[in-house]
Amino acid sequence: MKSLRKLKMKYQSVDHILRDADTLIRQGSTKQGAVYELPSPIMFELTDSMARFSCIADRNSVAIPAAESLYLLSGMTGSDFIKEFREGVSSKMIPCQNSYSLGSVLRFQGQKTENVLDYRTANAFRQKNIGFNDQLAQVVAILKKDKTNKDAVIQFASIQNPLDVHSVWFYSKHDMLEMLVSTGYIDVYKDLVWRLVSPFAFLHQIVSDLTEIPMGSSRFVIGCLCVDEIVSSSFFQNLTFPEIDTHNFRYPNGKLTLRDMDTLMSIMIEFVSRLDEHSLIRANPFEGDERVQMWSDYAEIFRAWKAEKLGYKAMMEHSFYHPQLRFIYKGEAL
């Protein structure tokens, strides 16, 4: 275990996080029943939340966390939007009953309905905005009123609602917005980057934009890293990790409200749901508006994902704004 203690716990990108998590689980895990677990909790820091896309894996490693980010922000629990991005999820309109149905607690804490929160139901709830507590809106209001307030906490898990993600704390330090996410069991290969780090780094940016507090680091406390099976060879061995500088990049803050973002999210989900072989060339609904550059980038992620899924070669004529996306999709070395 001596070599494990030498691993740095500050990372410049999600790829570096995944590489070291792979090393940790290989060198330090013990088998507990049917799974391999690390013997103690870990804490690590993504120094720049903009570096949330993987530059070494296939493009599903970009589209999946992008979809999970929207799913988290939307409050949905239904399978209508997310089913294509999650393996093994039924195409029927049923709740995605798993420990990453976090959005309903984020946006609709305390709502009493037993209905499946599909896209349209969740959208109606957000517009009505009564009968529940929107924790995201509450955190934004706390920090906008007083950025030194230390009570901007979003609670996910409870005794009645056990989830892998327990809470997320937003706080200002040295005039920067920091984020600390507390979790329990996290699968290294299924959940770590795709359902945890990338979506919460996205949420970090959303809160930073809404509060107008510059974004600091995203930190994660993981109670137990685990994996079902340790394969004989590691994908990360002998890989060259591209160094894409994101520290000097920020999307323009369009001075949007949370309700504005909810509207943009609805437009995005409609855009994604209608992508097929006949509509791949349809206009990007966000293109050309500086206020929504991030949403424009995400629309192009989904367009490329759908094209490749249908067997077409994605022609990436669009100019991505994000440096990592320009590298991934256009091969621009930065």
* Model confidence pLDDT, tens digit, residues 209-250: 999 999 999 999 999 999 998 876 677 777 788 889 898 999
Looking at per-residue pLDDT, the higher value among 53 and 334 belongs to: 53
The answer on pLDDT for 92 being more than 70 is no
Looking at per-residue pLDDT, the higher value among 64 and 160 belongs to: 64
Q: Long-range pairs for 240-244 at CB < 8 Å and ≥24 separation?
A: 241/13, 241/15, 241/16, 241/19, 241/55, 241/56, 242/55, 242/56, 242/327, 242/333, 243/12, 244/13, 244/51, 244/55, 244/323, 244/324, 244/327, 244/334
pLDDT of residue 99: 63
**Which single residue is written with the structure tokens 């740095």?**
8
Q: How confident is the model at residue 4 (pLDDT cuts 50, 70, 90)?
A: very low
Q: Long-range pairs for 120-127 at CB < 8 Å and ≥24 separation?
A: 121/78, 122/74, 122/75, 122/76, 122/77, 122/78, 123/74, 123/262, 123/266, 125/75, 126/75, 126/259, 126/262, 127/262
pLDDT of residue 17: 94
d(CA 94, CA 77): 8
Could you report the per-residue pLDDT of 296-328, keeping only the tens digit for each? 999 999 999 999 888 887 666 677 999 999 999
This prediction has a pTM of 0.92
Q: How confident is the model at residue 6 (pLDDT cuts 50, 70, 90)?
A: very low
Looking at per-residue pLDDT, the higher value among 31 and 7 belongs to: 31
Could you report the per-residue pLDDT of 278-300, keeping only the tens digit for each? 888 888 999 989 999 999 999 99
Percent of the chain with pLDDT over 90: 61
- For 319, the token pair is 């100019």
Give the mean model confidence (pLDDT) for residues 34-49: 92
d(CA 63, CA 78): 19
Work out the mean pLDDT of the chain and round it to a whole number: 88
